[in-house]
Chain A
Amino acid sequence: MAYPSSSVVYWFRRRFGISEVRREKLVLTMTRFREISSAVVHHRMGGIGVAILAFFVTMALVAPLLPLPNWDASLFPSFQDPSWAHPFGTDQNGRDILARVVWGSRVSLMVGFLASVIAGVLGTLVGLVAGFWTGWRDEVLMRINDILLSLPWLALLIVLAQILGGQLSLSVIILTIGLTSWNFTARVVRAQVLSVKERVFVERARASGASGMTILRKHIFPNVFPLVFANTILTVAVAILSESTLAFLGKVQVGTLSWGVILHEAEASSAIINGHWAWIVMPGLSLVTVILGFSLLGYALDEILNPKLRER
């Protein structure tokens, strides 16, 4: 491969560039990634899942560009039923609900993604430590895991919310959800690490003098990473659900807008008794559809990665 003539860049690449072997491995990983991605998209259900998620993410991103009325301004009469002017109706303050749903998606999705990143990283770390260095570290971590898994997470979250003042800011919410959702990932990672450890080639690597860190990096990590990735899809969905539940119970800072918040306001304004169905159905349907997208994606990945579930 020819390097550009600039000597600085050349020196930089020589020093920090990727060696041939690693580049090959990278290419292999990318090819495999591309293979799986294309398989997922072509899978009937996976394709639908990807389409759904793409739709919502795009909607969230381009929200400022859409011709919607201001989501926070009380411009219209309250409690309007759905009409051409207001496809989802208006809420108790006369705000257009469609606008609120579209803008609310930004928070709901963002919190979900960020929280699941935290949960994923934390879960992977814990799982790696527990699985790799078995013994008391493993036992302790697993007991903590058990405890957190068993507590009704909802109660835990609400209590945490109360501790921190009853009205949580977004960053706090992201942190709390992240800190309580890592359990499942940790369990899964730990199981995978344990099974990889059993495999002969790790023994061989040990025998050839490779240190613990190298084994971790070269053998265990590549086998664990795809699993974590597939698992993260589940975690994001759960995180989005958690945020919406917290918001529904009113624990989110006043002034934030997410789907859960809209539903909270609906319930507080007795929307059910008054029959304002769109107010309740539409934000919830968006939630359900997004989660469906993740489920379909997960289902497709499952079928693709697990040969037994395919047609025999």
Chain B
Amino acid sequence: MTVARRFFTQEWSALAVAIAIGLATLSALSPAFLTEYNLYVVLRSFCVVLVVAFAQMLTLAVGQLNLAVGALGGLVAIAVGGMMEKLGLPTGVAVFVGLAIGVAGGVLNGLLTVRTGINGFIVTLATASVFTGINLGVTESIPFYNLPPDFVAFGVKRFFAVPYLLIPPVIAALLLALFLARTVPGRYLLAVGGNPHAAELSGIPRDRIVVLAHALSGLLSAVGAILAEAQLGSAQPTIGADWLVISFAAPIIGGAALTGGHVSVAATALAVVLVVLIQNGMVLAKVDPYWVQFLLGALILSAVGLNRFRAIRIERA
């Protein structure tokens, strides 16, 4: 197969083309688009969304819908902020505890789901309320503003156009890709999602794998929250409040199947890039910001439609 053919049979080829067109349009619209500072701003806006999308992607991989991604993120954000500001804990300790809280929240979700056999959607809807409730009750919606300077600096520092903030998501992406493709638990995860019954019959510990998926999802939510906090320079209780739609949109646009078993790290990442570029473009083109919501819905539908179309064609072939 020629390179071109190989490119187009990849799932994310449409996304890559769309992104290329988008970049070209944006550079044409605004000459300053390709300047170092602007590229830095654009790259910086990917960071949190990438990790959030991966968090949802993992639970989608096992066929679960995780509504608690944002709520858990918000809780971790204020916990970390509170630890640094009110308890005076060093940054490293606070971050570590924050990640632990994320994992704990994920494990809670996973255990509730497998032990009770209830649909993950309802379980995470409930736990999302619980996490948000703790968040609100503790902070009374007042953010923590006095974060340690080195933590805040991490959110701003850059190496030419590359923000330091981008490093964790890139590492996460690489690790995830490796995990899903090359490690045993990762492959089990996809197996459980693809066909839970067959997986179980093959001896895969289904329940443990689902809990693992939720735990990793929680860990990534926590990472996203800490990145968001560094980016904003304060611990806002509202962090995570608007993660829900984008957390589903990106993996779905990236071709993930809601029933599980099929996700792509690369496609999800490209989907994130596309959506964020569109948002960025809106501001630059001075387009009515309300179009973003509309376009997001249209994007999801077209992505799903395309995937169905492709699936039907493959079936017929």
Tell me whether A and B are bound partners: no
Residues of B whose CB lies within 8 Å of any CB of A are none
Residues of A whose CB lies within 8 Å of any CB of B are none
